[in-house]
Amino acid sequence: MDQQGETELARALVAGEPEAFERFVGHFRSKVFHYSWLMCGRPEDAEEVAQETLLKVFENLGQLREPERVRSWVFRIAKNACLMQRRKSVFAPAHELSLDELAPADEVADGTRPPDLDLLRSELRNVLDRVIAELPPAYRAVVLLRDIEELSTEETAQILDLTTDVVKTRLHRGRLAMRQTLDCYLHNHCLEDQPSPNPAALSQEERAELYSMWQDKASAK
């Protein structure tokens, strides 16, 4: 779904149109699950983050002032939910690589999309997910929002509470690290190719919780 489609969907959701609920949940739950799995590391955590994100979205529906920016708004909520989930997860890493431990790279503008993203539309999609998952979290967050979700540098900076220059730097370094790992895979098959997980179907209880929250907020407008 492109930006115009998401904008129209957001407006329909705020207006309380019945069909908008299922379409919105189906579209954004999958996106948030994929983002959260790569950031949190476990499908179980990603399921919780996706549910919590959508609950927060519906709870704060009245704060969506600009429907055309619904994707960045949803991912700002998802980022916070993912941080909370990582803090309470027993699987959270004891040590995360510091940016100071990484070799510096020459800074370049991030206006052009990296050619590696063509892999998203090929049989190597699962491999690319593994490559992204191996990035340090600071780089991973920027790559996911800029290259996978196609948010702008400014939107990514706002979501992650960074300056645009920092976003550009981390994006550049993240892309370089991805290219190195992809090159290793393509020439030496040094990365395990495993299928990426998909979100489980919503339970009746989960759907009812989301639907109730949405109805309360949509009808209150």
Our count of domains for the chain comes to: 2
Quick one: 78 and 62 in the same domain?
Answer: yes
- Which position has the higher pLDDT, 131 or 20? 20
pLDDT digits (tens, 9 = 90+) for 61-107: 988 989 999 999 999 999 999 888 877 654 444 444 344 334 444 44
Judgement on whether residues 88 and 12 belong to the same structural domain of the protein: yes
Query: What's the mean pLDDT in 184-200?
Result: 74
159-168 LR contacts (CB < 8 Å, sep 24+): 159/72, 159/75, 159/76, 159/79, 160/79, 167/110, 167/142, 168/107, 168/109, 168/110
Task: Report whether pLDDT(55) > 50.
Answer: yes
| Residue 118 covered by a domain | yes
Which class for 154: exposed (0-12), middle (13-18), buried (19 or more C-beta within 10 A)? Answer: exposed
Task: Supply the pLDDT for residue 104.
Answer: 41
Q: Which is more confidently placed, 126 or 169?
A: 169
Residue 95: per-residue pLDDT = 41
**pLDDT(135) > 80:** yes
The Cα–Cα gap between 107 and 109 comes to 7
The per-residue pLDDT of the chain, averaged, comes to 83
* pLDDT of res. 206: 94
The answer to whether residues 33 and 77 belong to one domain is yes
Share of the chain above pLDDT 70, in %: 78
Residue 213 covered by a domain: yes
Single pTM value for the model: 0.80
Domain that holds residue 214: 3-92+203-220
Confidence of residue 193 (pLDDT cuts 50, 70, 90): low
